[in-house]
Chain A
């Protein structure tokens, strides 16, 4: 069963220098929320940004990772 820490680590490996936060939404190890700030997202549409995150996990999304909610930002998108 994947953990939030494991997901965070894998996103960080795929996006060096990114700020990554991952929460386990239910505590059950299958519904996660990932918030990623990376300059890799610069110039990409939201669809493309989210796909990059999904690509880190491939077939696991929809499988062991039942649901992965995503929020992506570039360092410039201050809120």
Chain B
């Protein structure tokens, strides 16, 4: 593939997919914590989305950044428009803006897989202290 072909492939992918995520790895096997959190947010919302792994050829990333003007991966596009990278996607997910943008219900307990999840300690029940 020539660079021009990669460029138009990316432009078409953005145009033809309502929700398009460019990431490192795949939603099933993300290759980077930032990509994992962005695809995790979309999974959590239960929306259908297209994902493209940018790792197989370094030119994909170069051409993508040329199209979007955004230097880092992941990049989320909705309706052909760049929404942002993982920080913005996560902020919008947590605030409910992403669900609104995508026209889905915000889950009751937004829970994005963190790179290093810490176990939560259950609060000590009152009855435990009253014996």
Interfacial residues, chain A to chain B (CB-CB below 8 A):
46-47, 50-51, 54, 59, 61-62, 67-71
Contact = CB atoms under 8 A, between A and B. Distances in A.
Interface size class of B (residues with CB under 8 A): 10 to 19
A67 B72 contact: yes
Contact of A69 (B34, B65, B71): B34
A13 to B, nearest CB: 20
**Best-buried of B61, B65, B85 by chain A (most CB within 10 Å):** B85
A61 B92 CA distance: 23
A69 B84 contact: no
Nearest to A58: B71
B87 to A, nearest CB: 5
Interface string B82-109: 1111111001100000000000000000
Given A67-B34, A69-B34, A46 B84 contact: yes
Contact of B84 (A47, A61, A62, A68): A47
A52 to B, nearest CB: 12
Nearest to A70: B87
A77 to B, nearest CB: 12
A76 B70 CA distance: 27
B70 A51 contact: yes
A69 B70 contact: no
Contacts of A51: 69-70
A21 B22 CA distance: 28
Nearest to B69: A51
3 smallest beta-carbon distances between A and B, as pairs: A61-B71, A46-B88, A62-B71
Given A47-B82, A47-B83, A67-B34, A62 B72 contact: yes
Contacts of B72: 54, 61-62, 67-68
Contact of B87 (A59, A61, A62, A69): A69
